Amino acid sequence: MIELQNICFEYGSEEQNIAGRGALHNINLHIPEGQIVLLCGESGCGKTTITRLLNGLIPHFYEGNLTGTICIDGKEINDQPLYETALLSGTVFQNPRSQFFNVDTTSELAFGLENRGMEETQILKKVDKTVQELKLEKLMNRSIFDLSGGEKQKIACGCVSVCSPNIIILDEPSANLDLKSMEQLHVMIEKWKVEHKTVVIAEHRLAYIWNLIERMVFLKEGKIEFDFSKEEMQKLTPRDLHQMGLRSNQDVKMVHYNRNENIDRIVFKNFVFGYEKNHNILNLKTMEIDKNSITAIVGNNGIGKSTFLRCICGLEKKCKGIMEIDGKVYKRKERLNEIFLVMQDVNHQLFTESVLDEVLISMKKENEEKALDILKSLDLLPYRERHPVSLSGGEKQRVAVATAIASERSVLLFDEPTSGLDYRHMLQVARLFEKLRNHGKTILVVTHDLEFIEALHANTICLEELQA
């Protein structure tokens, strides 16, 4: 049982207090044992802050002003050591990379059990069981650094499941997962439900878990605005959800649009690359996309989609592929000046001490007025003096999109640009992409987000079907 009583919290960072982001105001929440609860609301509403209260990271890791009491199974955890709280719950973070302690996947799965002093034979037995349940066989004995974003997310889920805590906390667990992996996550949550685990999920994407959720807590500006029961949830229409800034609760089907045969093409040839010797993760002989258009690249986790984008923009020196535009051949070094990439983990490309500076350094010639206009178009103007690292995952994502727009490159690559974005901001990014296309930009998007593809009316290419 979880009990939050009269919880108020403000982060200790002066920057976060100015914007009021993630702060909580008079939160009262009772979650009985075995209930599956959805925390939802727009980016920055306080979802992640509540998960940090439940797993003890607030106040032990994230400092701030906390009042009220947090009880788990009748025991107040505000002041108890973090390692004791860790025995009660397991968490999958929004950015799973931040929770790994080992360099290989098998050791990572065993790590939590080793810390509890479990015997080796028991550890091996539990790890093997979890690997089979989550279908992680192909990810075993792999370097953490070689995994795709979705594969990291699956390993993080495995690390929680193997320890079998009574409370499981998931923060945007589907952010980087393909449809098949989301189905596997659904099965896992269903299993936890049968085992009477308490599951708290902070999530924007609703369709894959809608039939499992027993309660929906909607947050707005740090307050609980609605607390829907299962019966009340079933009465909500897609329009109701969209007005609340939430994604659809219904599956979206992949729609293939007819390509314009009269339009110019960009051709990619001989993109072959592998991180390991004699094992190519990417083996693409030829691919064509429409120039001045939006193309979505889809496919299962780990097939080389992110690697393909890195090769296209010239980051992988060993890849000898070429790009042709209007008959002109662009080799690796030439592509570096022609293309801009927004990575899946945007933390890798946030360098400055303010959001405004981040946009300015992406420009060929700094123009503060234009930079402010770009920030305004993405609802980032209030955060212009904030340090990018202090932003939520969805806000960082929008900053990275802003830098791509500011670069004025002719070809823009985006790797999961809607990861962590609520419905309103997903549509906002879609409208911006359409505006860029109308101004002659070519946009290539790697995404699992079918709602986003539908909003873009994008051409769709399945990378697996093109691999030799």
Structural domain total, the chain: 2
The answer to whether position 251 is within a domain reads no
Give the domain-ending residue among 183, 209, 243: 243
> pTM of the prediction?
0.84
The answer to whether position 296 is within a domain reads yes
Shared domain for 195 and 233, answered yes or no, is yes
Shared domain for 279 and 329, answered yes or no, is yes
Residues 393/44, Cβ–Cβ less than 8 Å: no
Residues 301/150, Cβ–Cβ less than 8 Å: yes
Q: Rounded to whole angstroms, how far apart are CA atoms 322 and 330?
A: 6
Shared domain for 276 and 209, answered yes or no, is no
Shared domain for 179 and 284, answered yes or no, is no
pLDDT at 209: 94
Q: Give the count of beta carbons closer than 10 Å to the beta carbon of residue 13.
A: 17
Shared domain for 225 and 277, answered yes or no, is no
pLDDT in tens, 306-326: 999 999 999 998 998 999 998
Shared domain for 279 and 423, answered yes or no, is yes
pLDDT in tens, 43-75: 889 999 999 999 999 989 888 999 999 999 888
- The partner residues of 461 in beta bridges, in order of sequence, read 297
Shared domain for 204 and 313, answered yes or no, is no
Shared domain for 61 and 172, answered yes or no, is yes
Q: What is the distance, to the nearest Å, from the Cα of residue 151 to the centroid of all Cα atoms in its chain?
A: 12
Q: Which amino acid is at 41?
A: G
Burial (CB < 10 A; 0-12, 13-18, 19+), residue 389, is: exposed
Q: Give the count of beta carbons closer than 10 Å to the beta carbon of residue 271.
A: 23
The answer to whether position 249 is within a domain reads no
pLDDT at 20: 53
The answer to whether position 140 is within a domain reads yes
Shared domain for 235 and 328, answered yes or no, is no
The answer to whether position 259 is within a domain reads no
Place of tokens 């924007």: 204
Domain of residue 342, CATH code: 3.40.50.300
Domain that holds residue 375: 265-466
The answer to whether position 144 is within a domain reads yes
The answer to whether position 258 is within a domain reads no
Q: Rounded to whole angstroms, how far apart are CA atoms 309 and 297?
A: 10
The answer to whether position 148 is within a domain reads yes
Shared domain for 375 and 455, answered yes or no, is yes
Tell me the pairing of strands 2-11 and 24-31: antiparallel
The pair of structure tokens assigned to 352 is 């400055």
Shared domain for 407 and 353, answered yes or no, is yes
Shared domain for 302 and 381, answered yes or no, is yes
In angstroms, what CA-CA distances link 262 with 82, 287, 350, 456, 461?
A: 62, 17, 39, 20, 19
Write out residues in the chain with pLDDT < 70, as ranges.
Answer: 13-21, 255-260, 262, 278, 468
